[in-house]
Amino acid sequence: MTNAPTPGARPPLSEQAVEAVVRQAFRDMLVLLGVLLVLGVGIGVLVAGAAGAWGALLGVAIALVFSGTTVLSVLATVRSSPARTSAVIMGAWLAKIVVVFVALAVLSRFDFYDRVVLGVVLFAGVLGSAVLDLRAVQRGHIPYVEPAGPQVGPEVGPGDAGTGTPGGPSGTANDRPEHADS
């Protein structure tokens, strides 16, 4: 007998709940970054002209890579083993750290963008995304225990194995209350 899922079968409730929480966090992150893009570009243009707009665009793009990588990693591995999920999340975390540092190192050579606007928008995007992830997890309804599904197989009756009833392999005459030593 294998534990392979039946084609077309619904995943356990905990997997569905985790997926719903992660999808909510992803939607919230995209909305936050969209609002941040509009506000960042608008304020960036007012503060630093075209360089401010470029700073805001770059800040939102880096925040999307930084925050979106984790959310997408969890979403991609929601039905995987905990070990695989951890490995993918850690690998993605290391990769995104390298990408962000390389991107910032390459960008430091250029002056077409405003560094302050980029920094503020990037900070607001990453911090806001973390807060929204926390809110999604706190509001998510993830069960600690899966409810038992219907039992499939032969009916278990009195005297059958494993029931603890007298006459079965696990039940003996000494299991009966009237023979207990008290």
Q: Where are the domains of the chain?
A: 13-139
Distance CA 82, CA 14 (A): 13
The model's pLDDT over 124-159, given as tens digits with 9 standing for 90+, comes to: 999 998 898 888 878 877 666 666 666 555 555 555
Task: Give the pLDDT of residue 1.
Answer: 46
The model's pLDDT over 16-29, given as tens digits with 9 standing for 90+, comes to: 888 888 888 899 99
DSSP 8-state class, residue 179: G
117: its two tokens? 């606007």
Say which range, 61-65, 70-74, 119-123, 166-170, has the weakest mean pLDDT: 166-170
How many other β-carbons are positioned within 10 Å of the β-carbon of residue 48?
18
Q: Can you tell me whether residue 171 is helix, strand or coil?
A: coil
The residue whose two tokens read 């807060």 is 131
The residue whose two tokens read 């059958």 is 160
